[in-house]
């Protein structure tokens, strides 16, 4: 039985980001699916993921949308934007490999720079889209 593609992509993202020197210089290894209590900022967490199934010529395909959220207490957006830039660079060009499913592409889909309701925390929401052949 093969691994769920969304889970496999998430694990590949974490592995890639924790191995990237530019990313770890900015956030260490603070990349979370579920953020623990008392975590130090800045950090990255997984936001919503959406999978849209497609069937083309009998192939089981899907497009996967993944959000990574960057959280910072920097008074402006500069720190979060530096982290976002490092993440996009780390995840560029064939950076992700999957063992059970096949990834056709993994591309940045957008960025939103947000101020958290507490008025102190910045939130950069990066979205990526991936083309997956499910096995």
| Domain residue limits, the chain | 5-34+43-133
Domain range 5-34+43-133, its CATH number among 1.10.1060.10, 3.30.2000.30, 3.10.129.10, 3.40.50.720: 3.30.2000.30
pTM of the model: 0.94
pLDDT tens digit string along 122-133?
999 999 999 999
What percent of the chain is modeled with pLDDT above 90? 83
In this predicted structure, what is the pLDDT of residue 38? Answer: 96
Average pLDDT of span 53-72 = 92
In this predicted structure, what is the pLDDT of residue 3? Answer: 84
**How many Å apart are CA 111 and CA 127, to the nearest integer?**
6
In this predicted structure, what is the pLDDT of residue 9? Answer: 97
Phi and psi at 66, nearest 5°, equal -125, 130
In this predicted structure, what is the pLDDT of residue 88? Answer: 97
Q: Is the pLDDT of residue 119 over 80?
A: yes
Q: Is the pLDDT of residue 1 over 70?
A: no
Q: Is the pLDDT of residue 43 over 90?
A: yes
Residue 85's region, left for phi above 0, alpha for psi from -120 to 50, else beta, is alpha
Contact 35, 18 (CB under 8 A): no
Dig out the tokens for 58 from the structure: 């009998």
pLDDT tens digit string along 64-101?
999 999 999 998 899 999 999 999 999 997 789 999 99
Residues with Cβ within 8 Å of residue 115, at least 6 apart in sequence: 121, 122, 123
More confident residue, 57 or 53: 53
Rounded to the nearest angstrom, the gap between the alpha carbon of residue 102 and the centroid of all alpha carbons in its chain is 18
**How many Å apart are CA 4 and CA 127, to the nearest integer?**
20
Query: Which of 26-30, 45-49, 52-56, 77-81 bottoms out in mean pLDDT, i.e. has the lowest?
Result: 52-56
Q: Which residue has the tokens 């849209």?
A: 52
């Amino acid at each position: 039985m093969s691994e769920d593609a969304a889970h496999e992509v998430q694990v590949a993202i974490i592995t890639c980001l924790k191995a990237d020197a530019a990313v770890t210089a900015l956030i260490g290894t603070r990349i979370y699916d579920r953020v623990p209590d008392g975590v130090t900022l800045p950090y990255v967490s997984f936001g919503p993921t959406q999978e849209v199934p497609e069937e083309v010529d009998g192939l089981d395909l899907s497009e996967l949308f993944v959000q990574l959220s960057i959280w910072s207490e920097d008074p402006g957006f500069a720190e979060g934007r530096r982290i976002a830039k490092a993440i996009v660079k780390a995840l560029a060009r064939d950076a992700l490999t999957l063992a059970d499913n096949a990834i056709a592409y993994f591309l940045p889909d957008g960025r939103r720079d947000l101020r958290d309701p507490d008025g102190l925390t910045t939130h950069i929401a990066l979205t990526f889209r991936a083309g997956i052949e499910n096995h």
